[in-house]
Amino acid sequence: MTPDLTTDLIPAGRDAAQAAARVLARGGLVAFPTETVYGLGADATDARAVARLYAAKGRPAFNPLIAHVNDLDTARRIARFDARSLRLAEAFWPGPLTLVLPKAAGCPVCDLATAGLATIAVRVPAHPVAQDILRAFGRPVVAPSANLSGHVSPTTAAHVRSDLTGRIDLIVDGGPVTVGVESTIVGGFDKPLLLRPGGLPRAAIEQVLGIRLVRPAEQTETAATAHPLAPGMLASHYAPHTPVRLDARDLKAGEALLAFGPHPLAGADAGRTLNLSDSGDLVEAAANLFGHLRHLDTTGARAIAVMAVPDDGLGEAINDRLRRAAVPQH
């Protein structure tokens, strides 16, 4: 399916941004850090590059992708902002927020990247390495999380390498990411919708808008798109291979433990226990979530028992990802 590529891994730095821009310009695929998760980038204006990106991820369908640009002025060339979306962009960009907006006239992003929709998802990432690459390249870059489809999103370059070696051209290593869950996605600005909870807490957005965000009735990432995936497929988007048991109040034999807070459940092997945050800090928990799931997935446990995480702040995004991780695999 995907040709066998040589995947280079280079440390972040000025030369890396130039190297990444060269690979993107020839239609290649570059994984790079954003503050949320590592993204797998392709030239958003090049349909062949975008097609290669879907193939490299092994995506089951052509999901619409997020176009990344380095500032609001550039974003305004690809999407039409109204007063509300502009207020959010000014308050939170660069940062872990994606806005779904009508495409601007003459938007150069290819139809494959937006799955033929009249809207486009846009984000200005804050990570300096992402910023350097976007500036060096000078065109929008589509970037889904840099994992194989169905796997947990990568928060380190090593995660990217283990999923995508031989399938992409370049990995730029900028160390572990800081946020750890994907961006919050907001759309439908006459009646603002929280399409995906993520790294920017809902309350921060509601405060700027002065109204409550509604979640689409169907709690799936693509509920508002014209190409919904089969619910089961989408629901298990973030799943590790090991079964996940939520809201664990005790441990069963052979289970690994994903703990939260200062009082982890007793009885798990030391080698099979990780705590999202000893102090119960949701920001720290988000940053640890995908890495800890990946690690516990390698311990040979019969299941991963997950302690309850409160639903406020980043907890909404953490619990959304945990619920998806708990959907049985086929």
By the criterion CB under 6 A, which residues form the site for ligand TXA? 34, 36-37, 39, 63-66, 98, 100, 114, 117, 119-121, 123, 125, 143-145, 182-183, 185, 187, 195-196, 221-222, 224-225
Q: What does each C-alpha distance from 179 to 101, 130, 144, 157 come to in angstroms? A: 24, 14, 16, 15
Q: Which of Mg ion, ligand TXA, none interacts with 74 (beta carbon under 5 to 8 A by kind)?
A: none
Backbone phi, then psi, for 40, in 5-degree steps? -105, 110
Which residues lie near Mg ion (CB under 5 A)?
Answer: 145
Quote the tokens at residue 220: 């799936």
Residue nearest to Mg ion according to CB distances in the complex: 145
Nearer to Mg ion, 36 or 145 (CB): 145
Smallest gap from Cβ 306 to ligand TXA, in A, equals 21
Cβ contacts of residue 246 below 8 Å, gap of 6+? 306, 308, 322, 323, 326
Q: Between 117 and 265, name the residue whose CB sits nearer to ligand TXA.
A: 117
Minimum CB–partner distance for residue 126 and ligand TXA (Å): 11
Q: Provide the β-strand partners of residue 33.
A: 38
Task: Tell me how crowded residue 250 is: count the other CB atoms within 10 A of its CB.
Answer: 9
Q: Give backbone dihedrals phi and psi of 299, rounded to 5 degrees, phi first.
A: -90, -5
Smallest separation (angstroms) from Mg ion to the CB of 14: 28
Nearer to Mg ion, 25 or 55 (CB): 55
The H or E element containing residue 216 is: none
Q: How far is the CB of 56 from ligand TXA (least distance, A)?
A: 13
For 31, 133, 256, 297, 326, the CA distances from 305, given in Å and listed in that order, are 31, 39, 6, 11, 10
Least spacing, CB of residue 175 vs Mg ion, in Å: 20
When the beta carbons of 126 and 282 are compared against ligand TXA, the nearer one is 126
CA distance 142 to 64: 9
Task: Tell me 38's DSSP state.
Answer: E
Binding partner of residue 184 among ligand TXA, Mg ion, none, CB under 5 to 8 Å per kind?
Answer: none
CB closer to ligand TXA, 153 vs 275: 153
Q: Which is nearer to ligand TXA, 100 or 258 (CB)?
A: 100
Q: Residue 196: which of ligand TXA, Mg ion, none does it interact with, CB under 5 to 8 A by kind?
A: ligand TXA
CB of 288 to ligand TXA, least distance (A): 16
Omega of the bond prior to 94 within 30 degrees of 0, cis?
yes
